[in-house]
């Protein structure tokens, strides 16, 4: 059985492993090899997640999908919209699910918990940035996300296009998620 819960500092190593493994798998066909090599190492990700999950000053939501045996199979993180250039309050920073658990509603369940927390805290709109060529972007479109903006981002030495998708009303997203089979 799989359940969703808030992440703790003890989850940092497993989150870092999921983040590193799935990020590389997702982007290896979208980003040049030389640029991929410039991205954070697993050790950097581990330190980043340990720091973030142990800080009282970081205002970020992090939820994990966990099996009964304690194995984490996915996570979602987010918080306040970072650019302040758009009329959206919160943003999904990361959502990653191990390859063998994809297409099993794990991402949907993580998104549901994230949205539930956003609504509980009074937020009304949500944004997410993804590389434009990322086929996983359809995950957000399937749940009603609308294209907001596209701009270039530097990864390593390369330039890639990112697209922002958003929901101007999180409640509409929550309602749609609740209607879908798990």
Residues 81-136 have pLDDT tens digits of 998 888 999 999 999 999 999 999 999 999 999 999 999 999 999 999 999 999 88
Question: What are φ and ψ of residue 105, in 5° steps?
Answer: 70, 10
Residue 65, helix vs strand vs coil: strand
- The better pLDDT of the pair 104, 59 is held by 104
Let me know if domain 2-179 sits in CATH 3.40.50.1950. no
Please, which pLDDT band fits residue 41 given cuts at 50, 70 and 90?
confident
Q: Is 155 exposed, middle or buried (0-12, 13-18, 19+ CB in 10 A)?
A: middle
Neighbours of 142 (CB within 10 A): 11
Q: In what order do the strands lie in the sheet with 60-67?
A: 2-6, 60-67, 72-80, 90-97, 126-131, 158-167, 146-155
Contact 113, 9 (CB under 8 A): no
Q: Name which of 110, 117, 25 is nearest 76 in CA terms.
A: 110
Question: What are φ and ψ of residue 123, in 5° steps?
Answer: -80, 150
Question: What are φ and ψ of residue 2, in 5° steps?
Answer: -115, 135
Task: Provide DSSP, 134-172.
Answer: -GGGHHHHHTT-EEEEEEEEEETTEEEEEEEEEES-HHH
Q: Could you list the beta-strand ranges (E) of 30-118.
A: 60-67, 72-80, 90-97
Average pLDDT, the chain: 92
Please write the tens of the pLDDT for every residue from 60-84.
999 999 999 999 999 999 999 998 8
The pLDDT of residue 36 is: 83
Is a pLDDT exceeding 90 seen at residue 149? yes
Name which of 13-17, 55-59, 149-153 the model is least confident about.
Answer: 55-59
Residue 73, helix vs strand vs coil: strand
């Amino acid at each position: 059985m799989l359940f969703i819960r808030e992440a703790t500092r003890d989850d940092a190593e497993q989150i870092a492993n999921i983040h590193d493994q799935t990020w590389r798998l997702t982007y290896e066909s979208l980003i040049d090899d030389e640029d991929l090599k410039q991205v954070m190492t697993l050790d950097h990700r581990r330190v980043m997640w340990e720091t973030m999950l142990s800080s009282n000053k970081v205002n970020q939501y992090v939820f994990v999908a966990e099996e009964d045996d304690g194995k984490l199979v996915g996570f979602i993180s987010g918080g306040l919209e970072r650019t302040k250039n758009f009329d959206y309050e919160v943003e999904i920073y990361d959502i990653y699910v191990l390859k063998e658990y994809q297409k099993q509603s794990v991402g949907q369940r993580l998104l549901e918990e994230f949205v539930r927390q956003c609504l509980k805290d009074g937020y009304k709109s949500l944004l997410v940035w993804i590389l434009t060529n990322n086929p996983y972007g359809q995950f957000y479109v399937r749940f009603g996300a609308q294209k907001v903006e596209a701009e270039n981002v530097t990864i390593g030495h390369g330039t890639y296009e990112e697209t922002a998708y958003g929901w101007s009303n999180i409640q509409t997203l929550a309602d749609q998620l609740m209607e879908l089979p798990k």
